[in-house]
Chains A and B, each alone.
Chain A
Amino acid sequence: MLERIEHHQRVRRILIAVGLLVLALVTAAGMTFIGFRLANLVREFPGFIESIWDFMPPNFVDFTLYSKEHYQYGQVAKLEDFYQPILMSFSNPSTFWTSIVEQEGLIGLSVITIAIGFCGTVLGFPLALIFGVLGSERVTPFPFNFLFRGAMSTIRAIPALVWVLVYIPLTGLGPVGALMAVATDTVGNLGRLFTDELEEIDDGPIEAVGSTGASGSQRVFFGMLSQVFTSFIAWTLYILEINVRIAVSLGVVGAGGIGQYINNRFFGFLEFSRGMAGILMVIVIVLSVEMVSSRLRARLRPSEHEQMTFFDHLKDLLTTSKWLGTGSGKRD
């Protein structure tokens, strides 16, 4: 008996070793195929660090319309270029509003990017919900549910970066096309998550709602969707985070917003320190959206916020320990 167990274990170990070896060989072959040479990277690394150093300090002259018009910077980069435009913008706060309205400066462009991500998610949500629900075998009998699953798979097969090109004849290359691309991408991704979530639900509540004499659509809403309501919202917030990142990358290919600013600085005008300021803005945008989204998702966890008023919720959003993850988070 012991011999048999040990033999099986030996065979398993050999198989794992062979598997890892094959994985390493395939990866090495792939890297050689695309021309990866470690020696090249090592040789170029000091140059890389030097050029990154050249981007520093980031130049925030384009932070707002006000800083753009009033801040003078010289040929030689200095630390003031980083904070002075920001400080002078804050000393003249109305410039934030005008920058947003005029869609100018890093602030205005960031709002465009956030708007593309947010509105794209909102526009994509209803179709994602319809496709996601109809793609579930519990609602649409097999094989008809595959019509909707297939549609979502096809949408997913095409990345948002390609969708924005597809929409050029309809909208041109700009924020509107980016919005359409994000919305389309949302239908494929969010819809798929909805379908998967619906496959996991209990039959009991559906039967219970059905036993009250509810109609088919009431059974879908009260028996099925009520079970997954909070996870649907949580998934939507997660997709919103991803969509804001997609909106940045769509800007890089010319669809507007902060991504386009970065592209123009690096490749158009070779103003690397100003491009670096754009990258820092992206980090701020993405982290902010992630923090708000994860706080909202935490709010959806039931036990944590029973009997809380609206003001309690607002107060809770300002609790820094929760933002930073240093608080206990859970009450019970």
Chain B
Amino acid sequence: MPAVSVENLTKVYGEDTVALDDVSFEVEDGEFLVVLGPSGAGKSTLLRILNGLTTPTEGRVEVGDEEITGRRSDIAMVFQLHYVIESLSAYRNALTGALSRASLLESLLTWYDEPDKRMALRALDTVGLLEAAEQRTGSMSGGQKQRVGIARALVQDPNLLLADEPVASLDPKAANQVMGYMRSAAKERDLTTIASLHQVNIAREFGDRFIGIRDGEVVFDGDHDDLTMDAVDEIYYESEEDAEGVLEA
């Protein structure tokens, strides 16, 4: 039984802007899947549908044997621009992952259940920020904020972790660090992960399996060995001339 099953997913914006065109794939339990593709290929739309933030025009997605019809607290998302609450500490930000398990008053007064508090500290430990738990995220670097974003996602105790271009706005060193923490967090918890990425080298280093999307269609599906230079060209460039033109430039 796959952890995630995407069947004939199509998303059309407006009259005729096709973002996804009949996309189907499955993800195994605990697998770290990386979605590759040029800007505007449909990666973000796919992740938003998986997170219940966008409704597909056609097709269905099942996570844990249950169809996605809206937002679900067992699916966590790491956003490109982290979107942490800068006025709060790393610890309180991590705890926002447990919002669905607390009332408004409990969450405002940080009266979360003991296991949730422990989970927040463990998540911060996983992303290497336990020592900075009480630091305001507003004063943290971009990489640290993104790690807080991962901690928040882990505190949701999800069955599926999604990451939409999680390192696009980071320098290469921070990007590697953030991806390393994300992968180890996922592996530690045997957590199924789907991350969209621009950078092929980072994808190659951290992914188990890769899906390439171009113009809303799946044009590649394979593992490390399959992700050759030719395959990358196939994902990113319409034709060989395109690829050569870019290389020459």
Chain A interface residues (CB < 8 Å from chain B): 202, 204-205, 207-215, 217-218, 221-222, 226-227, 229-230, 302-303, 306-307
Contacts and interface: CB of A to CB of B under 8 A. Distances in A.
B99 A214 contact: yes
Contacts of A221: 104, 107-108
B71 A204 contact: no
Interface in B90-106: 96-100, 104
B72 interface: yes
Contacts of A226: 85, 87-88
Interface stretch (B18-26, B27-35, B73-81, B235-243): B73-81
Interface of A is mostly: helix
Contact of A212 (B76, B86, B88, B104): B76
B96 A214 contact: yes
A226 B84 CA distance: 10
A208 B79 contact: yes
Interface of B: 51, 53, 71-73, 75-77, 79, 81, 83-88, 96-100, 104, 107-108, 135-136, 138-139, 149, 152, 156
Contact of B136 (A207, A215, A302): A302
A242 to B, nearest CB: 25
B154 to A, nearest CB: 11
Contact of A222 (B75, B81, B85): B85
Given A212-B152, A302-B86, A222 B96 contact: yes
Contact of B97 (A205, A212, A227, A303): A212
B76 A211 contact: yes
B83 A207 contact: yes
A213 B104 contact: no
A40 to B, nearest CB: 56
A217 B77 contact: no
B156 A213 contact: yes
A34 B43 CA distance: 68
Pairs A-B, 6 closest by C-beta atoms: A213-B73, A213-B100, A208-B83, A214-B99, A226-B85, A204-B83
A205 B137 CA distance: 13
Contacts of A227: 85, 87
B85 A212 contact: no
A215 B92 CA distance: 17
30 contacts: A204-B81, A205-B84, A207-B79, A207-B83, A208-B79, A208-B84, A208-B149, A208-B152, A209-B85, A209-B96, A211-B53, A211-B71, A211-B75, A212-B97, A212-B98, A212-B100, A212-B152, A213-B73, A213-B100, A214-B99, A218-B104, A222-B85, A222-B99, A226-B85, A226-B88, A227-B85, A229-B87, A230-B87, A303-B138, A306-B139
